[in-house]
Amino acid sequence: MLCPLTMPIDEIEFGRFLEPFAPLSSKIALAVSGGPDSMALAYCAKRWAQRDLVALIVEHGLRPESPAEAVNVKERLEALGIETEILTWKHDVVHDRVQEKARDARYGLLFEACRRHGTFDLLLAHHQGDQAETVLMRLAKGSGIDGLAGIPPQNMREGVRLLRPFLQVSKARLVATCQTAGVQFVIDPSNASEKYARGRIRKIMPLLEAEGLSVENLSLLAQRAREAKEALEIATRELLKSIATAEQGGCVKLDRAALRAAPRALALRGLAEGLRYVHEEAYPPEYAALSSLLDAVLAPKEEEVRTLYGCIASVSEKKIAILREPSAANEEIPLASAKTILWDNRWIVTSDPNAPKTTVKALGFPPHDVLDVLAPGLRQRIPQGRVRASLPALFEGDKLRWIPSFDGKGPFSMTFRKQAFP
C-alpha cells in the first residue's frame, strides 16, 4: 500500500488542484525544465487535458550540455502529445548574480511566449519543498510577514497569471507520479550545488526537520503569514481610502496627521503603496529605507524633500506629496505614428496616424511661455513644476516639440497607467 505522502497524482486530484484558479484561459502554458516537478506537471496537465496546452522550455545556455538537454525534454513532451517550444536566453558570459539574472531572463522569455501563444495562464511546478526553502531563506534575511508568506499560489506579472497548483504537494509525490507513469526526467546538478543558498539549505534540512522545522511546518508558516498579509492589505486599503488622494500627473498626497495616527505596520504599508503607485518596480521598497523615510516624513521638523524608490516625498504641514523623481525618469523611447508605448513604466503614450516620428523623454523644466504654447492650461492643471517635469513629452533630437494631451486631442495623448488609488 502506498503512503499518502508518496502517492502519485491522478487527473481527478489535479483537477481539484486547479479549481481555485478558475476560470482558466482556453489555452494554458506550462513552464517545464525537465526535472521531476515540471514533468509531473506536464503529465498531469495532459491527463487532465480540458484545455489546449503549450509547454515552454527555457534554455539558459549556462552549461555546455543544456541545449541538448532542452531538445531531449522537448522530445519527451511531444511524445506525451504536448505542443512544445524551446526559448533560448541569448547572453554574454554571466560573471555574477547568475541565478538572479537567469530567473529574470527566464520569466521575461516565458511572459513573451505566453503573449505570443495567446494565453494568460502559466502553470509552474513549485512544490511544498520549494515553499519551505523560500521561507527559510527569507527568515535568514530577517523578512517580515510579507516575506514569510513565501511563494503565492497565484500572482499576476506583466499581464500573465502565474499559477502554482503543487504548492501544498510534496516533491516525493511528484517523483512518484513520474515513476509510476514511466515519465523520464533530468536532474540539474546546480540544484544541489552549495554555491547557491538553496543548495546549502537542502543540505541542512534533515537537521532542521529533527528540531521541528519540517517542510510541512514551514509550509504551514507560509500559509499563516499569507493570511496575516491579506488582512494587513485589506486594512491598508481602508486606511488609504480615507487619507490618500491621487492627483493628475501621477502624484499621490497622504494626510500627514492621519498617517501618524495609524498603527506603524499600516503606515509603512500605506507609504509603500503610495511609492509603488507613483513608480512601481519589480520589488517593493526595502524595509530599512522605507522605515527611515516614514520617520522623516512624520517627524515634527519638516524636511523639504526625501527620495526613495525613484520618488520624491515632499512634506508640508498637513500633507506628504509623493511624486516621481524627475532625474530618475530618464527613459527615451522612439514613437512612430499610430503606435502606443509604455513610458517610464507609468505613462501610456499614443500617437495618431498622422503624427511624425518622435522620441518620448521626460518633459523637464522648459520655460513657462513654452509650456503655455505647447500645452495651454497645463500649469494650472498641474501647478507643481517637479510633477510636470516627469511627464512624457515628444522631442525631435533635443528639441521639445509636443506635450501629449490628457483628453485625446491632438497628435499625441497620454494616460497614467494606473487609473485608481488605492
Q: Which residues contact 27 (CB under 8 A, 6 or more apart)?
A: 51, 52, 53, 54, 117, 118, 119
pLDDT at 94 over 80: no
- The confidence score (pLDDT) of residue 300 equals 82
Q: Which of 294, 324, 354 is the last residue of a domain?
A: 324
pTM of the predicted model as reported, rounded to 2 decimal places: 0.85
156 and 288 co-located in one domain:
no
Which pLDDT tens digit goes with each residue over 266-293? 999 999 999 999 998 878 899 999 999 9
The CA distances from residue 213 to 126, 134, 204, in Å, are 19, 13, 11
Compute the average pLDDT of residues 215-240.
Answer: 96
| Res. 193 pLDDT band, cuts 50 70 90 | low
Compute the average pLDDT of residues 71-77.
Answer: 96
Q: Which residues contact 325 (CB under 8 A, 6 or more apart)?
A: 279, 307, 310, 311, 312, 390
Please state the separation of Cα 90 from the chain's center in Å: 22
Residue 340: inside a domain: yes
Mean of per-residue pLDDT scores for the chain: 93
d(CA 119, CA 98): 29
- The confidence score (pLDDT) of residue 381 equals 94
Residue in 131, 34, 18 with CA at minimum distance from that of residue 42: 34
d(CA 350, CA 348): 7
122 and 29 co-located in one domain:
yes
Residue 422: inside a domain: no
Residue 306: inside a domain: yes
Which pLDDT tens digit goes with each residue over 26-60? 999 999 999 999 999 999 999 998 889 999 999 98
Residue in 66, 24, 60 with CA at minimum distance from that of residue 45: 24
Which of the residue ranges 6-15, 89-98, 119-128, 366-375 would you say has the lowest mean pLDDT? 89-98
- The confidence score (pLDDT) of residue 419 equals 77
What's the burial of 96, exposed, middle or buried (CB within 10 Å: 0-12/13-18/19+)?
Answer: exposed
Compute the average pLDDT of residues 229-255.
Answer: 96
d(CA 379, CA 251): 15
Count of domains in the chain?
3
- The confidence score (pLDDT) of residue 1 equals 45
Residue 208: inside a domain: yes
258 and 191 co-located in one domain:
no
d(CA 28, CA 121): 5
Residue 234: inside a domain: no
| Res. 179 pLDDT band, cuts 50 70 90 | very high
d(CA 208, CA 347): 48
Expressed as residue numbers, the domain containing 372 is 328-416
pLDDT at 344 over 90: yes
Residue 160: inside a domain: yes
d(CA 202, CA 195): 12
- 258: domain CATH number is 3.30.465
Q: Regarding predicted confidence, which is higher, 304 or 144?
A: 144
Paired with 41 in beta bridges are none
Residue with grid cell 524636511, as numbered in its chain: 303
d(CA 165, CA 125): 7
Q: Which of 324, 342, 363 is the last residue of a domain?
A: 324
Q: How many CB atoms lie within 10 A of CB 264?
A: 12
Is residue 61 within 8 A of residue 90, CB to CB? The reply is yes
Tell me which H or E stretch contains 87.
strand 83-88
The CA distances from residue 218 to 128, 205, 270, in Å, are 9, 11, 28
Residue in 395, 416, 246 with CA at minimum distance from that of residue 347: 416
Residue 173: inside a domain: yes
184 and 256 co-located in one domain:
no
Compute the average pLDDT of residues 353-371.
Answer: 96
Q: Which of 220, 240, 263 is the last residue of a domain?
A: 220
Phi, psi of 99 (to 5 degrees): -65, -40
d(CA 262, CA 258): 6
